[in-house]
């Protein structure tokens, strides 16, 4: 994922510079404090006479240096946040773009809850890892390297104490990170499961209430939540062990510095201020190691999330874009739609849903497909816009194999209304115009009139500007279907696919819609354009109401 850092590498470099500057200033302060204590307060080199002017002068310099360090810290924070936030933003966009490119079978394989977790929680974890790498790692390593160098200038004994303590802490860190790393994947998988339950229950809230199954779903959610809590607890218990272990080593190191330093002071080798400086350096070095330990945990979790995101980004769409634009039909190819010996089996299934299907629909004709539930009617429609590819045989649109089309060009020829109506959290007018790059108010009203939606829309408080609730729950099933029909008509498609899309309409409204659709088709014919329709229906009456040029299958 380094390519996502590249556009912001200048901010990353500035973060490193500012962080190094801040740490070096922090490491210089103990030396100034040493001067204040040894020379200003105790006057070790001036016959034991304090030098208050030195205390004042050094104190002023300390304040100025601390201010500069604070500026470095603020600027480093600004740069790292700019870099990390844009890094996460780019990954999130690319993941979402890739998800939209995946086929239906690939989305089913990942599961919706898992995809939501990856694009939200996992992206956040990777973003946090980048922030920790640019800021925390630089700080901790600078504390370790520069702090050890500063300690060497004081007394070799103090450096030996740090040389013993640091490896012990690193061993503790490695052991905890090694044990906790596999658990981070488990935690993310448990979040996937929790999101799946939440999504199903929120979408199915009406069914749950209708059947009085709140208690059952509470229990199911509770089980998923307890699984997540148990996985997180295992991680947290491991991490909780690390801090006390590090603190034990840190306190032992401080005691050793005080103990050894007391002998050096008595021997006149160093002053009390030097021991204070050594104590500060030891604390800064070991706290830097502790910071590094925390960062390693962030890295362990971030690397787990990185691999999960890479699974999405590396997944190539199963439905490959043919790359060709809209093409005219070949010589003698008059059929708008043609299936030649088509068979289809859903991934993971053993039996074909469709077997050796051949048919042709000429331009301007209407094909009604009537059959028993599960007979493959909706599946046949799904092959035309390439939601799935046929496992055998060929599908042609305007005489061209659908596999050779650019997906956008193929789907721009069509408009489809599925069994399950999908509306969005926007106004009624925006929902109707959603499938068009630009649509006038007149076109929106005309499509609504054909779809028999104009009357109920105009009775709404704000008409076409009325907001639709999430999922269209503020509208009835019949109203949602009519808006979906209007959305399909406004696209002015060459091929209209209706998958049992009037099942929620009463017979009178359904009949009126098909009459209006037939009139619209005739108007297009007079303009030299043809509208080919394939209509899946459960009722023979629906099929018979679909108009002229009708063929039943």
Segment 311-327, tens digit of pLDDT:
999 998 888 887 765 55
Residue-wise pLDDT for 82-133, tens only, equals 999 999 999 999 999 999 888 888 888 888 888 888 898 889 989 998 988 8
Q: Which pLDDT score, from 0 to 100, does residue 47 have?
A: 63
Residues of the chain with pLDDT > 70: what percent? 91
What average pLDDT does the chain have?
83
Range with lowest mean pLDDT among 167-171, 398-402, 405-409 = 167-171
Q: How confident is the model at residue 334 (pLDDT cuts 50, 70, 90)?
A: low
Task: Give the mean pLDDT of 522-534.
Answer: 91
Give the helix ranges, DSSP H, for 102-155: 104-110, 112-117, 123-131, 138-152
| Backbone torsions φ then ψ of 343, nearest 5 degrees | -130, 150
Which has more confidence, 224 or 51? 224
pTM (2 d.p.): 0.73
Q: Which pLDDT score, from 0 to 100, does residue 401 have?
A: 92
Lookup result for tokens 């850092």: 5
Cβ-based neighbour number of residue 27 at 10 Å? 20
Residue-wise pLDDT for 450-483, tens only, equals 999 999 999 988 999 999 887 777 888 899 999 9
CA atoms within 13 A on the CB side of 451: 28
Q: How confident is the model at residue 332 (pLDDT cuts 50, 70, 90)?
A: very low
Range with lowest mean pLDDT among 83-97, 103-117, 290-304, 371-385 = 290-304
Q: Which pLDDT score, from 0 to 100, does residue 417 have?
A: 92
Is residue 477 a contact partner of residue 419, using CB atoms and an 8 Å limit?
A: no
Q: How confident is the model at residue 330 (pLDDT cuts 50, 70, 90)?
A: very low
- CA-atom Rg of the chain in angstroms: 35
Q: Which pLDDT score, from 0 to 100, does residue 413 have?
A: 92
| Backbone torsions φ then ψ of 459, nearest 5 degrees | -85, -10
Q: How confident is the model at residue 375 (pLDDT cuts 50, 70, 90)?
A: confident
Which has more confidence, 552 or 258? 258
């Amino acid at each position: 994922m380094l390519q996502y850092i590249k556009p912001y590498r200048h901010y990353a470099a500035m973060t490193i510079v500012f962080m190094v500057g801040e740490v070096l200033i922090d490491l210089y302060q103990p030396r100034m404090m040493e001067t204040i204590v040894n020379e200003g307060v105790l006057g070790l080199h001036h016959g034991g006479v304090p030098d208050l002017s030195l205390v004042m002068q050094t104190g002023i310099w300390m304040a100025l240096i601390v201010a500069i360090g604070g500026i470095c810290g603020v600027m480093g924070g600004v740069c790292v946040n700019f870099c990390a936030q844009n890094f996460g933003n780019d990954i999130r966009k690319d993941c979402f773009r890739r998800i939209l490119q995946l086929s239906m079978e690939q989305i089913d394989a990942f599961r919706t809850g898992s995809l939501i977790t990856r694009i939200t929680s996992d992206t956040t974890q990777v973003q946090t890892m980048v922030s920790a790498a640019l800021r925390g790692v630089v700080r901790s390593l600078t504390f370790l390297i520069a702090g050890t160098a500063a300690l060497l200038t004081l007394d070799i004994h103090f450096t030996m104490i740090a040389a013993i303590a640091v490896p012990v802490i690193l061993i503790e860190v490695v052991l905890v990170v090694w044990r906790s790393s596999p658990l981070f994947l488990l935690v993310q998988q448990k979040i996937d499961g929790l999101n799946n339950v939440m999504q199903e229950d929120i979408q199915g809230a009406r069914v749950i209430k209708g059947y009085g199954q709140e208690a059952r779903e509470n229990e199911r959610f509770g089980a998923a939540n307890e699984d997540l809590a148990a996985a997180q607890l295992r991680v947290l218990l491991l991490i909780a062990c690390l801090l006390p272990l590090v603190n034990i080593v840190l306190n032992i190191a401080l005691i050793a510095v005080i103990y050894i330093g007391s002998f050096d002071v008595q021997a006149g080798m160093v002053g009390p201020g030097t021991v204070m400086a050594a104590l500060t350096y030891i604390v800064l070095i070991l706290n830097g190691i502790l910071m590094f330990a925390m960062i390693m945990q962030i890295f362990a979790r971030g690397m787990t999330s990185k691999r999960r995101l890479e699974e999405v980004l590396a997944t190539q769409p199963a439905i490959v874009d043919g790359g060709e634009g809209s093409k005219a039909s070949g010589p003698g190819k008059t059929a708008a739609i043609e299936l030649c010996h088509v068979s289809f089996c859903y991934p993971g299934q053993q039996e074909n849903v469709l077997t050796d299907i051949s048919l042709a629909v000429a331009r301007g004709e209407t094909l009604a497909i009537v059959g028993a539930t599960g007979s493959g009617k909706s599946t046949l429609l799904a092959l035309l816009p390439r939601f799935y590819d046929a496992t055998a045989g060929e599908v042609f649109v305007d005489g061209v194999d659908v596999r050779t089309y650019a997906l956008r060009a193929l789907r721009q020829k069509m408009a489809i209304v599925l069994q399950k109506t999908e509306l969005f959290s926007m106004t009624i007018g925006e929902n109707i115009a959603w499938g068009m790059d630009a649509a006038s108010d007149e076109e929106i009203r005309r499509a609504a009139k054909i779809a028999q939606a104009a009357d109920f829309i105009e009775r709404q408080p704000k008409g076409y500007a009325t907001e639709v609730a999430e999922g269209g729950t503020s509208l009835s099933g019949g109203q949602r279907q009519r808006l979906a029909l209007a959305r399909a008509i406004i696209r002015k498609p060459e091929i209209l696919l209706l998958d049992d899309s009037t099942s929620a309409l009463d017979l009178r409204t359904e009949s009126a819609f098909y009459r209006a659709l037939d009139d619209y088709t005739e108007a297009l014919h007079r303009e030299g354009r043809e509208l080919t329709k394939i209509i899946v229906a459960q009722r023979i009456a629906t099929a018979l109401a679909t108009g002229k040029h009708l063929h039943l299958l």
